[in-house]
């Protein structure tokens, strides 16, 4: 087994907009990066090459696994340790939406979303924590503002993200002091999913979308990545918290 001299981060769902921004931020910070994806090996390989050649990451390797399947999750962690010899940070970024009206939502739509968002976060975190032997590990989970407010057609996604918020607190209590666990909750971030869902490529729609945000703009994936880097690198006395990155939209 080769032991990396650099710290290593695993990012699930690493090919999403926020996943890519997070991978770039860790690469710039000097981390080696394990990129999880479910079904896009060519895209993952190209992105891994980019992080090394253009961003300067020490090492980047893609790992294909469906985080809803325990055997695949466990195998991924074994492969990461075999290739890097260590893992210091887990970013549970993977997620999925299957919107449907509450009275029409199918069991499959419920189970696909909850298995990815909540069960996937649980299993990846468990496999990470079982193997981690250091004293400064970090797990970053992802919340959603709708986990707090709710929304129409999200009776699977919103409760799953709400479950992640509470799971974060449970893990933070049980894994302290050697592993810190926090949630990052993005607001109106300019991602492909948000553009498709809310049609924000239209200038007038975008202006309307930004009007309610105190900082008067949509966030960028890099804004979310910056919070993650802060929690991992500087937030040594922060655990069990939900850090909302939304330009002030959801103040509580």
Catalytic (active-site) positions: 157
Mark 133-154 as b/e (b = at least 16 C-beta within 10 Å).
Answer: eeeebbbbbbbbbbbbeeeeeb
User: How far is Cα 144 from Cα 150, in angstroms, rounded to an integer?
Assistant: 9
CA distances to 4, 166, 178, 247 from 33, rounded to whole Å, are 11, 27, 21, 28
DSSP codes of every residue in 63-87: EE--TT-HHHHHHHHHHHHHHHS--
Any residues with CB less than 8 A from the CB of 25 and at least 6 apart, and which?
222, 225, 226, 228, 229
**Phi, psi angles (nearest 5°) of residue 235:** -85, 55
Any residues with CB less than 8 A from the CB of 87 and at least 6 apart, and which?
8, 9, 10, 34, 77, 80, 81, 128, 131, 132
| Residue 107: exposure state from Cβ atoms within 10 A (0-12, 13-18, ≥19) | exposed
Q: Are 187 and 205 in contact (CB under 8 A)?
A: no
């Amino acid at each position: 087994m080769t032991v990396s001299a650099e710290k290593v981060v695993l990012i699930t769902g690493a090919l999403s907009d926020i996943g890519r921004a997070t991978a770039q931020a860790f690469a710039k910070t000097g981390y080696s990066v394990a990129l999880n994806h479910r079904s896009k090996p060519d895209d993952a390989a190209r992105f891994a090459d980019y992080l090394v050649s253009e961003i300067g990451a020490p090492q980047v390797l893609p790992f294909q696994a469906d985080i809803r399947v325990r055997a695949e999750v466990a195998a991924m962690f074994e492969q990461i340790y075999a290739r890097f010899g260590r893992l210091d940070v887990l970013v549970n970024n993977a997620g999925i939406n299957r919107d449907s009206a509450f009275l029409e939502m199918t069991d499959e739509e419920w189970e696909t979303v909850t298995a990815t968002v909540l069960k996937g976060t649980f299993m990846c975190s468990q496999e990470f924590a079982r193997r981690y032997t250091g004293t400064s590990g970090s797990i970053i989970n992802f919340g959603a503002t709708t986990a707090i407010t709710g929304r129409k057609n999200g009776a699977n996604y919103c409760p799953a993200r709400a479950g992640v918020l509470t799971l974060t607190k449970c893990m933070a209590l049980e894994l302290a002091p050697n592993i810190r666990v926090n949630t990052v909750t993005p607001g109106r971030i300019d991602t492909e999913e948000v553009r498709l869902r809310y049609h924000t490529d239209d200038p007038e729609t975008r202006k309307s979308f930004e009007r309610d945000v105190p900082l008067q703009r949509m966030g960028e994936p890099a804004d979310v990545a910056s919070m993650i880097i802060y929690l991992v690198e500087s937030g040594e006395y922060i655990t069990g918290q939900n850090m909302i990155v939304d330009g002030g939209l959801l103040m509580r």
